[in-house]
Amino acid sequence: MSGRPFRHSGVLPRFRDAALGLFVAYREEPNLRFHVFAAACAGVAGCAVSLRGWEVAYLGATIALVLAAELVNTAVERAVDLAAGDRRHPLAAAAKQVASGAVLLTALHAAFAAVVLFGVERRLGQSVQAVLALLAGRPLFVLPPVITGLLGLLGGARRQSQRRDTP
């Protein structure tokens, strides 16, 4: 035993902790909820235009990249807040800015991927018509992004500040 906290010997407790981390981040981070909503919309659009094998892989990898960057950004922000406490430090600010810059970079890549998949590989007008036709023909297909969007807008806990009010 290494004496480190949160160390588990079994695989299932590790998966449980990872799933709990995803749940906590989704509940407390509005940007993550937005990215999940956007990912669901991209998935519906991908189904509507019948993406091919490499396109599905590219869309999936792009979505995973954005969500992973947002999760890492959340972890960096929490760790910096814990380490810095009430003090303002230029290195703490820089760490947070770099982590959020990584999210921005992946989000810009996601926009690029959308242009490639839905505007270059097929005309944008065709993509929009395909999405509208899918939603008109199978309106239940819109439920995943609507549910994630509503959970994102209505759900979630407001992150409470860890700081104590000192007189």
Residues belonging to the active site: 70
One-letter amino acid identity for 108? L
Contacts 24+ apart (CB under 8 A), 22-27: 22/71, 25/70, 25/71, 25/74, 26/156, 27/155, 27/156, 27/157
117 vs 20: CA distance, rounded Å = 33
DSSP three-state, residue 157: coil
- Residue 66 near residue 39 (C-beta atoms within 8 A): yes
137 vs 93: CA distance, rounded Å = 49
